[in-house]
């Protein structure tokens, strides 16, 4: 049977699935691994957000702090100054929901007030004790991501006994912690954190067995776009990983992902449509 969920977005209950969503990545930073600096200017960022919506994005994710391996934290005031004007403008200009990529409760609260409907927290509520309260009060959706360590050190020497089992157990525990903190289960998505404290083989094993995470009972979001594991497989720089990204996106959809997080929205949206049509559970 095709999998479908109701996702709670700021008081609206939105069907998610069986057709997967494409989330467009909008980095409002000078140092993101893929497109750092291109959209630091608010006008450029808003223009790119509008373009991604036109290309087929179902959701836009705005981030003002790079979480690439080795990155350092950004001061709260600076992160707010980067993302809030962009979110406010996009919430007014585009029809698709806006997400903010942050682990700071104050930034999340400001973004939700400015019109965002989702928070993507790479720390899964571990980074700021006030984050759970913000989401419980505002009712926005929340992505809980797995990360071993922190961005500054996560790729130094990641180790697991059994990576898929450990990632699944972590995400299951984080879902229950969020619910215990007052966040509705319908607000939650889970992300295995490709590239966040994982080796090439860890990433591949997670993607091969992604379907096992469906047992958690929440929609799966995956972000393989332009990641270093593709560079290792193809021996290609960041700017030449489109085909590898599309192959990974298709694999994620075939294994049950309901949201894929990408830079190249138009191409990914087409790949998602084909992969979804080929899924054995009859999506589309």
Could you tell me the residue ranges of all domains in the chain? 24-278
pLDDT band at 155 (very low <50, low <70, confident <90, very high): confident
pLDDT at 2: 45
| Higher per-residue pLDDT: 108 or 6 | 108
The pLDDT tens digits for 197-212 are 999 999 999 999 999 9
Per-residue pLDDT, averaged over 278-284, amounts to: 63
What's the residue count for the chain? 284
Residues acting as catalytic residues: 227, 261
Return the exposure string of 253-277: e unless at least 16 CB atoms fall within 10 Å of the residue's CB, then b. bbbbbbbbbbbbbebbbebbbebbe
**Domain 24-278 homologous superfamily, CATH:** Dihydropteroate synthase-like (3.20.20.20)
Q: How far apart are CA 79 and CA 111, in angstroms?
A: 11
List of residues 6+ apart from 282 with CB closer than 8 A: 1, 2, 18
Which of 206, 247, 204 minimizes the C-alpha distance to 225?
Answer: 247
* Mean pLDDT rounded to a whole number for the chain: 91
Please state which of the ranges 30-44, 193-207, 250-264 shows the lowest mean pLDDT: 30-44
Q: Any alpha helices (H) in the chain, and if so which ranges?
A: 42-55, 76-93, 105-114, 131-138, 163-180, 200-208, 228-234, 242-254, 265-278
pLDDT band at 122 (very low <50, low <70, confident <90, very high): very high
């Amino acid at each position: 049977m095709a999998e479908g969920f109701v996702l709670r977005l700021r008081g609206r209950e939105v069907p998610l699935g069986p057709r997967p969503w494409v989330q467009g990545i909008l980095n409002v930073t000078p140092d993101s691994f893929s497109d750092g600096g291109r959209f630091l200017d608010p006008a450029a960022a808003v223009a790119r957000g509008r373009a991604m919506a036109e290309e087929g994005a179902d959701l836009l994710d705005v981030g003002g702090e790079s979480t690439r391996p080795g990155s350092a934290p950004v001061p709260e005031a600076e992160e707010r100054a980067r993302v809030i004007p962009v979110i406010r403008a996009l919430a007014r200009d585009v029809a698709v929901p806006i997400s903010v990529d942050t682990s700071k409760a104050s930034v999340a609260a400001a973004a939700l007030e400015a019109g965002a409907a989702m928070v993507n927290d790479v720390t899964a509520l571990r980074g700021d004790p006030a984050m759970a309260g913000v989401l419980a009060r505002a009712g926005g959706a929340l992505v809980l991501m797995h990360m071993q360590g922190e961005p500054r050190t996560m790729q130094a020497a990641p180790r697991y006994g059994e990576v898929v089992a450990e990632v699944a157990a972590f995400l299951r525990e984080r879902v229950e912690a969020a619910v215990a903190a007052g966040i509705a289960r319908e607000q939650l998505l889970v992300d295995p954190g490709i590239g966040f404290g994982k080796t090439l083989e860890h990433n591949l094993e997670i993607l091969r067995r992604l379907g096992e995470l469906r047992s958690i009972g929440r929609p799966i979001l995956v972000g393989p776009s332009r990641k270093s594991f593709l560079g290792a497989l193809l021996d290609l720089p960041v700017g030449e990983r489109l085909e590898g990204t599309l192959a990974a996106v298709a694999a994620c959809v075939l294994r049950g992902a309901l949201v894929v997080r990408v830079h190249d929205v138009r191409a990914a949206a087409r790949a998602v449509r084909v992969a979804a049509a080929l899924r054995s559970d009859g999506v589309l």
